[in-house]
Structure 1
Amino acid sequence: MKNPYQKIYLASKSPRRRELLRQIGVAFELLLLRDQTPRGPDVSEEVLPHEAPQAYVARVTMEKARAAQQMMVWRSLPVRPILAADTTVTIDGQILGKPADKAEAGAMLRRLSGRSHQVLTSIAVIHGEQSWQLTQVSDVLFQELTEAMIEAYCDTSEPYDKAGAYGIQGPAAIFIESIRGSHSGIMGLPLFETAQLLQQAGIRIL
């Protein structure tokens, strides 16, 4: 039987990651990083010059995990494994972040229309002095999007808190012809890989 007292810290504001952890029965508490402090965010998500997408998403994820670990120590919280993750969308080697407005969201969707792109989700687990990390990559093929489809989608709240201006778990699912990789990874937390890392950190899944 799984130890009911096993619990992790989740260093993520994403409601989708919370849902996915609950799906596999992982107990967690939120350990949220700050977007604004007098010195700026706890972790900057700015892309470094000439930084490749896979290097970027891995770096940001580990920085989130390390910052959460420091927060755990500063607050004298119970010591538990910490899980952090970051997801980015890339096409033609360029990172597509979260759109700032409707025009930017529309431009991203036009770029993805009728083409295949990659969704990269990196996950990191830290426990004590040990850390484990991997990045899962999925290929996503969009159908050709009409201007009417793009306009209607951008009139919803869906595109604006998601990398690449869409979420597979929402209405944009109808845009997707096929995926090769991890459906949950595209949502923001690849469950197979997450379970592997958590088990290495001593968290029993089943």
Structure 2
Amino acid sequence: MLTDQSFRIILASKSPRRSQLLREAGLPFIVRTKEIEESYPAELPAEEVAIFLARKKSRACREFLETSDDILLTADSTVIVEEEILSKPTDRTEAQAMLRKLSDKRHVVITGVCLLTAQQEVAFGDATYVTFAPLSEAEIDYYIEQYQPYDKAGSYAIQEWIGLCKVKKIEGTFS
């Protein structure tokens, strides 16, 4: 764990998983959030959307930087299957449709990260390929009922039941 830290990390995210990752890394941080519209240009290549949105969030939250030692951290994840971006579902029907599309298929999860200070902006992304086993309608309904995936790109979180029971293969990082 870092003890002699001269900077302050500001996580601009409501994601419990992102907070958990920073805690596990032993990094002290504070959480500040702001509602940001997660829109992007239609012509933007799918593999660039996560980085674009992470940058957009950082720029919208720039006001959270109070000193030159502050580091603002934002991130976004996109799920892409058969060249289609699966965003966060707005309702149960949309979540069901997304999980059906992912069933028995390989897809890519791209996470974009942006670090912003008063002096500099750095953005990068990482891709993980995930292959789902077949999902029955009962399994899809169970997952949606139990885990309420309405705040998750592609309607799932790999650290939940679906990742434990229905992921056949992961190529890349789990976290």
Q: Same fold by TM (over 0.5)?
A: yes
Give how far 1:127 is off.
Answer: 1.6
Partners of 1:49 and 1:127 lie apart in 2 by: 29
Structure 1 residues 179 and 129 mapped into 2: Cα distance closer, same or farther (>3 Å)? same
Letter in 2 for 1:61: A
1:114-138 deviations in Å (ceiling 9; x for gaps)? 0100001001111222121110000
2:44 pairs with 1:51: yes
2:169 pairs with 1:183: no
Partners of 1:144 and 1:157 lie apart in 2 by: 19
1:42-95 deviations in Å (ceiling 9; x for gaps)? x321232222222221111111112222x125xxx3340111100110111111
1:175-198 deviations in Å (ceiling 9; x for gaps)? 1011001111xxxxxxxxxxxxxx
Q: What is the match of residue 13 of structure 1?
A: 14
Kept in 1: contact 2:107–2:131 (CA 8 A):
yes
Give how far 1:31 is off.
Answer: 2.1
Q: What number of residue pairs does the alignment pair up?
A: 172
Give how far 1:4 is off.
Answer: 4.3
Q: Does the residue aligned with 2:40 lie in a helix, a strand or coil?
A: coil
Q: What is the match of residue 28 of structure 1?
A: 29
Structure 1 residues 4 and 47 mapped into 2: Cα distance closer, same or farther (>3 Å)? closer
Partners of 1:156 and 1:81 lie apart in 2 by: 36
Q: Does the residue aligned with 2:48 lie in a helix, a strand or coil?
A: helix
2:67 pairs with 1:66: no
Kept in 2: contact 1:7–1:26 (CA 8 A):
no
Q: Does the residue aligned with 1:99 lie in a helix, a strand or coil?
A: coil
Partners of 1:72 and 1:108 lie apart in 2 by: 34
TM-score where L is the length of structure 1: 0.78
Q: Where in structure 2 are there 5+ consecutive unaligned residues?
A: none
Give how far 1:30 is off.
Answer: 1.4
Partners of 2:5 and 2:122 lie apart in 1 by: 23
Q: More strand per residue: 1 or 2?
A: 2
Q: What is the match of residue 191 of structure 1?
A: none
Partners of 2:10 and 2:131 lie apart in 1 by: 34
Kept in 2: contact 1:57–1:87 (CA 8 A):
yes
Indicate the percent of aligned positions where both proteins have the same amino acid. Answer: 34
Q: What is the match of residue 96 of structure 2?
A: 106
Q: CA RMSD in A?
A: 1.6
Q: Where in structure 1 are there 5+ consecutive unaligned residues?
A: 36-42, 185-206
Letter in 1 for 2:48: A
